[in-house]
Amino acid sequence: MKHNFKKIVFFGFLYTNVILTIKIQAQAPVQLSIRESLPGLTISKYIYGHFSEDLGRCIYDGFWADPSMPVKKQGRIRMDVVEALKKIKIPVLRWPGGCFADQYHWRDGIGPQGQRPKTVNTTWGMVTDDNSFGTHEFLELCSLLGCEPYIAGNVGTGTPKEMEDWLEYLNYNGESALTDLRKKNGRDKPWNVSFWGVGNESWGCGGSMSPEYYSNEYKRYSEFAKNYPGTKLKLIASGANGDDYNWTDVVLKNTGLWNAWGISMHYYVVVGDWGHKGSATQFDESEYFHGLKKCLHIEGLINRHSAIMDVYDPEKAKALVVDEWGIWTDAEPGTNPAFLYQQNSLRDALIAASTLNIFNNHCARVKMANLAQTVNVLQSLVLTDKDKMLLTPTYYVFDMYQAHQDAMWLPVQFSSPDYVYGNEKIPAINASASRDASGAVHISIVNLDPAKIISIKTSLEGMHFKSLSAQVLTSQKFTDVNTFEKPFTVKTVEFKGARKQGDDLMVEMPPQSVVVVELK
């Protein structure tokens, strides 16, 4: 490698086993202050939720392995995937969709697996579904993961009676024909499933409804969604697509969300357009910049939807649930385009970390979010290839950020320098902070600039710490990915660029990096 010392310097002292080549850019430290939140808001653990649809290789060949697959399994549930997700304390898993939810009829997925009807997944590739993975299998998966289930009900092609029966099958502990059927199928006690979506994307693949029409459907379906003894339902109304503020306004005005826990919102980062969304691996700085810019746009969406919700729910009793989010690129070349299999780069990890910082900072209203999707689809945490498995850069972000789950939110104030590309600019730095039950403070900081080290001086108002530790996630190129041949190209390592200076914290943020600092 030829070294141009006028432009670059090695800073291997910043962290272990990773050496990056960067441009020297002098700057004054960013002044960042952290204070105690009033009245003591909590970052819900459900913000760190996930979404797994019956789509492509997410369930089948992801969680649900072929019986002959030489991997550790419980039944057909793949345990290496389960153990990886348990490590990051996945709090909730949403299923069966997505668009698939509104064509899924739950009775097709119960009873002896060999006797279940074969159906066609007309939404995702016109493939045959043998329904071997159904209600019992999903809830067993959630039990193994130690997470709560979130089931999306079928409003598009289903009926209120079908949803009512499914809830009874899941949650009733008395005597009835449906509880007898559940016991016959191997489950004596109810599962007590609380999170329940009343349809999905009802404005689009869930029925192409108007908000006025959906409002009536929501009221009709939710009327028959009963709270069986021991289970208080947390109903989630089907909410808006991105910036469709009229949907949110009409649904709230017409329903009041009177018996709902929250209303959803979906937003995907698409760098190009829906016809050509861009490559997951072959992209230049323009696509990198615009992907990040679109990522940060979600904060404006949250602000405007929250303002509408404040009109009808000023006490913030109802949740804004971002139950589908992430970057959506073109499918990997050579794969079925309907299966939405995409690689996962350092750029995607920066998008995940920045989005989670935004959710954390809006925890007064955002009470759940579900990344799309967990295995082998869209912005996955895990990729599999037969018996091989790897963890994506996005997985490591969730690993680093798990300390924020159910921790007390700490407001962070600062003025970010700009990351400038051409005639456009975005904030280079974003951050969030929390205090956990043990008193430890965690600060997650993202530097989106691919060229600049950014120095940060953090003032902790009224807080004192004796020790610190930190981790960093970065790589030489923002296009870097983990492959089955090189599965650890992008992973977290110990970070040495944070230090105590009196009562302040000093952090030297590497370019294109995520850093989480723990103070005790």
Q: Which residues contact 112 (CB under 8 A, 6 or more apart)?
A: none
CB neighbourhood size of 45 (10 A): 20
The β-bridge partners of 267 are 325
- Distance CA(308)–CA(463), nearest Å, equals 35
Q: Which residues contact 286 (CB under 8 A, 6 or more apart)?
A: 421, 422
- Distance CA(491)–CA(494), nearest Å, equals 10
Helix, strand or coil, per DSSP, at residue 389: strand
Of 145, 126, 131, the C-alpha closest to 96 is 131
Q: Which residues contact 440 (CB under 8 A, 6 or more apart)?
A: 403, 518, 519, 520
Amino acid found at 369: A
Reply yes or no on whether 162 is catalytic.
no
Helix axes 135-145, 160-171, angle to 10 degrees: 50
Amino acid found at 226: K
Reply yes or no on whether 201 is catalytic.
yes
Tokens of 81: 């995937």
- Distance CA(83)–CA(32), nearest Å, equals 37
Q: Write down the catalytic residue from 168, 217, 287, 324.
A: 324
98 cis-preceded (ω within 30 degrees of 0): yes
Q: Write down the catalytic residue from 137, 162, 168, 201.
A: 201
Burial 412-446 (b: 16+ CB within 10 A, else e): bebebbebebeeeebbbbbbbbbbbeeebbbbbbb
Residue with tokens 């869209």, as numbered in its chain: 378
- Distance CA(388)–CA(380), nearest Å, equals 15
- Distance CA(272)–CA(35), nearest Å, equals 39
Burial of 466 (0-12, 13-18, 19+ CB in 10 A): exposed
CA distances from 448 to 289, 297, 301, 387 (A): 9, 14, 20, 35
Max Cα–Cα distance, the chain, nearest Å? 79
Tokens of 492: 């977290």
Residue with tokens 């967990």, as numbered in its chain: 374
The β-bridge partners of 151 are 95, 196
* CB of 393 closer than 8 Å to CB of 346: yes
CB neighbourhood size of 108 (10 A): 16
Active site residues: 201, 324
